[in-house]
Amino acid sequence: MPCPPLPLAVLAASLLLAGCSNFSKTELAQIRQRGVPPAIVVKLERGHVLKPAEVIELTRRSVPDALIIRQIDDTGLDYILAKNDVASLRAARVSPPIIDALMAESDRFARNYAPGFGPHYASPYDDVIYGSDPYRYTGDATDGVGFSGYQGPRTYDPYVWRR
């Protein structure tokens, strides 16, 4: 007799959700006991990226460095760490290993989405004589995914090779 589809769906959903967290239930309970805000605990449970203010809050609540670094290493960053972010982290007395982990992940993010690298549109029609492809993306890392947007069709310039 075949299994009804509902228990199989519940089982599959529970298996999918069980692998989302970077921390065990006891580690999450320890983090909650330190008074970490629920929004940050949810980010830790679901494996979301931490922002500098959240790292400062975790440090202020005396969450062990190893747990913060594990979250940073497992989830990475989706932004480039600015100088003022590093200054605010240092002013809040965040430990150097955590700042180093943030900087390493920030560098990884920048390398993946920098112009000329990562998921960029490339055209075989880029040419010295005919100019670049009229439907080309610029590959600027300003919007978080590596593209600054569609540039629109460009007019033909027969003297582009002279530039």
pTM over 0.75: no
Positive or negative torsion for Cα 87, 91, 96, 97: negative
Place of tokens 């069709």: 153
Indicate the residue type of 143: D
16 has pLDDT over 70: no
Compute the distance between CA of residue 70 and CA of residue 56 in angstroms, rounded to an integer.
15
pLDDT in tens, 54-103: 999 999 999 999 999 999 999 999 888 999 999 999 999 999 999 999 99
In this structure, the number of other CB atoms found within 10 A of the CB of residue 20 comes to 10
Which DSSP string corresponds to 70-129? HHHHHH--SSPPPHHHHHHHHHTT--HHHHHHHHHHHHHHHHHHSTTSSS----TT-BTT
The amino acid occupying position 57 is: E
pLDDT in tens, 118-162: 444 444 555 545 555 555 545 444 444 444 444 445 554 555 444
Give the list of residues 6+ apart from residue 43 with CB closer than 8 angstroms, or none: 49, 50, 54
